[in-house]
Amino acid sequence: MASKLIGAQLYTLREYLKTPADMAKTFSRLSEMGFGIVQVSGLGPIDATELKKMLDDNGLACVVTHRSMDQIHNTQEMLEYHQTLGCPYTALGAFHSDSREDWKSFITEFSRLGKTLAAAGLRLGYHNHSHELAPFGDDPAKINPQENPLHLMLAEADPSIWFEIDTYWIAHGGGDPAAWIEACTGRIPVVHVKDMTITPEREQKMCEIGSGNLNWPRILDACKKAGVEYYLIERDAGDVDAFESLKISLEYLKSTGLE
């Protein structure tokens, strides 16, 4: 039975999604593996209507997308695209700046866009990497771990803005994934589940869920308490074939009781 709770972040399979023909083959494989939902990200050019039909034909539903700021600014096109896909959530992949002032300006504009989209039924979110945990300021004697972009966003972004917490990148930034998920309670409908391991040379790298060092019982418990609706498996790069990686992670998550 296809899971409607655990999905595949399609960016994981971006090398297999460059043309509509590639997409048809990839969607078929995902369906056979037991996936019922996906995040649309990393695809080559395709019309939304054609994409929707292709997903439907393979028993897949798009529950969230990643879009650029240029795309998000075109609110009418955003709404039409997501209405065609039947998709309720979208997120920005990242914003970069070392400046608190830049972040505050970004949050103001992002909140404005979020309120506009939410009024029409589309929820706008933010996906973290690790740089959002870098503290503001350059005085090493006055580092405050509470003063960073992600804390600022959580405190100041409009309530309509949700947070697509990425477990790997939180850990990469020295944070506690479960604690951040809990901090976003009520504002985290989608989570990116991704594991981390370490090499003998002390290099962090992504791996299949359940194969690394993240505390999954703790993380999954936090997700349930925080109100997570969808668990999207993502692995940007790694040592295992991308399809096999998704399969291993899906089987692990199902073994914990998620379906």
CATH number, domain at 156?
3.20.20.150
Based on the structure, what is the number of domains in the chain? 1
> Does residue 53 surpass a pLDDT of 80?
yes
Residue 229 has pLDDT above 80, yes or no: yes
Please give the pLDDT value at position 234.
Answer: 98
pLDDT of residue 137: 85
Task: Determine the structural domain holding residue 50 and report its residue range.
Answer: 3-255
- pLDDT at residue 259 greater than cutoff 80: no
Query: How far is the C-alpha of 227 from the C-alpha of 185, rounded, in Å?
Result: 6
pLDDT (0 to 100) of residue 14: 98
Residue 143 confidence (pLDDT) above 90: no
**pTM of this structure:** 0.97
Give mean pLDDT, residues 13-27.
98
Nearest to 249 by CA among 23, 35, 96: 35
1 pLDDT above the threshold of 80: no
pLDDT tens digits, residue range 26-48?
A: 999 999 999 999 999 999 999 99
**Residue 224 structure tokens:** 């349930």
Dihedral sign for Cα 5, 6, 12, 15, please.
negative
Task: Give the chain's end-to-end CA distance (angstroms, integer).
Answer: 9
Separation CA 111–CA 105 (nearest Å): 10
